[in-house]
Amino acid sequence: NQFNLSRNAGNMFNILRKQMDESTQCPLCRASMYWVDAEKLDEQEFNFYQCSHCHHQIFPEQQYNCHCENCQAARKKLLKETRLQEQRKLKNKDIVERELSELSFLQKLFLLALLDNHVQEHTAHQEFIDWDAIKYHNISPNYLFQQSLKKHLVHEQILIVKDDALQAEQYYINVRLDGYSEPSLFSVAQQLRHWFYENLALGVPFKSADEVKECLYLLLFQEIVQFMQFYCKTWGIQIAGNKSFQVFCYRLLDHLAVGQIYYMIQSALEYLHKQKALQVRNENFINTNLLKKTLQQYRERGLQEKWETFTLPRPPQLPFSKMSEILLFNFLGLDESIFVQPIRHAWKKIEPRLNFYST
């Protein structure tokens, strides 16, 4: 293959001759390489190696770039990554990085529920949240609630989509910790553990007792929704909570135990099911609104006729969510009696201490 005067693709020189060098292997495919004599446009001669299989080229003085398929693909990948990095920098100019301590009590609780089981000191973990891998775990009392919490954190720019996330379901946590930017997931998880698991000895995750009370009511309402869904699942019927039903349940929680509300819901659902009033799909919250109306009538009549509202124990088949475990048992130091007595009894004991630590 001597005196090949064809121009080398992508580089401005001519190949004069090639000679096989069995002692030199291509670093990419391990095939033997040619020792090539070449000529620049100014007729100055020089030498380089070229692979006999994949055409990879090695220039001893690195005066030219290799244009084999592997090298071109590597340059394209590097260019793409550089563009993504630049786009991220531009995008991040509009993204505000908040201090972890400034997040709401609910936001902190949800983050700890996401991280606690997956981010440990002596176990390997990724530095991002893979939502697809955990979205069906019992993070909160029900799936729709945890989906709405995740969307809320994305909207608040606390969770930021990973640049290369294929389905946009992998997220970085966008917070500062003690003034430092981009803390590790372990550092974030450990700080949250200090706030929620150390009996307030290592910091306080709330601004006021009312913030904790609001979160407690919300979690217990979501426990009620979980019970409704659990009960309706045996009939293949959809049901969920909505704002109107939430307000009604909050009024009930002011006076009744969660277990008493369970009993009312069980009675109402059994009645509606026997009447064939429940629809398979909960379109426009038709089942939710029917249940609310039935419960209102049940409650009004019960108050007028002074009925005793029985208490239904929390079904053992219902899994406890991570958020409920952290808030009820670890942080507030309660036990399952919270489900069989009105909240106000437990709150009288909890509130003074929370007020003392309020910021």
- Tens-digit pLDDT profile for residues 61-87: 777 788 888 888 888 888 887 777 766
Query: What SS3 class is residue 321?
Result: coil
pLDDT for the residue numbered 2: 39
Provide the residue-wise pLDDT of the chain in tens; the chain has 359 residues: 333 444 454 566 778 888 898 888 998 899 999 998 888 777 778 888 999 999 899 887 777 788 888 888 888 888 887 777 766 665 655 778 899 999 999 999 999 999 999 888 778 888 889 998 999 999 999 999 999 999 999 999 999 988 765 556 889 999 999 888 889 999 999 999 999 999 999 999 999 999 999 999 999 999 999 999 999 999 999 999 999 999 999 999 999 999 999 999 999 999 999 999 999 999 999 999 999 999 999 999 989 988 888 999 999 999 999 999 999 999 999 998 999 999 999 999 999 999 999 86
Alpha-carbon span 331 to 346, nearest angstrom = 13
Alpha-carbon span 321 to 238, nearest angstrom = 20
Alpha-carbon span 130 to 170, nearest angstrom = 5
Write out pLDDT tens, residues 280-301.
Answer: 999 999 999 999 999 999 999 9
CA count, 13 A, side-chain hemisphere, 139: 26
**Strand-pair partners of 172:** 160
Name the pTM for this structure. 0.73
Write out pLDDT tens, residues 132-174.
Answer: 899 999 999 999 999 999 999 999 999 998 876 555 688 999 9
Strand 175-177 and strand 98-99: pairing?
parallel
Whether 291 contacts 270, CB under 8 Å? no
CA count, 13 A, side-chain hemisphere, 47: 8
User: Crossing angle, helix 343-357 and helix 209-233, to 10 degrees?
Assistant: 140
Query: What SS3 class is residue 172?
Result: strand
| CB crowding 246-278: b at 16 or more within 10 Å, else e | eebbeebbeebbbbbbbbbbbbbbeebeeeeeb
Nearest 5°: CA angle at 106, between 102 and 111?
A: 80
